[in-house]
Structure 1
Amino acid sequence: MDSYSFLRELADSWVLLLLVLFFLGTVVFAFRPGSRPLHRDAAESIFRNENTPAAAREKEVE
């Protein structure tokens, strides 16, 4: 068996299985119970130092 055939067989079976398991593990990790506050904090972190709404800042610039 040449190396190309061996690597292709390996990629079609075990590597595919490992990648599917990695994907499912990542999804389970992202949607695990108790992670909602962490995701909300990360999503709102860019607004943490804002004191005025965006519309008011645009009027000040003009």
Structure 2
Amino acid sequence: MIIRVCNEELVKEALRLGADEAHCEGDKLIVTWSRDEEPPCSLKCLVIQTMSEINRRTH
């Protein structure tokens, strides 16, 4: 597995992929997702590569 450090490019990519919010906390990409459907695999991979997780927000 590729381990990446969060940066502005990853934040922009997460937002492009549909994240409600995205930011860096240290080396980790923190993503908020509020839709009912699952996040796309490409977004999940970005988060996993920074050893983080997706925060689910309920309506």
More strand by share: 2
TM-score, normalised to structure 1, is 0.23
Compare CA radii of gyration and give the structure with the larger one.
1
More helix by share: 1
TM-score, normalised to structure 2, is 0.23
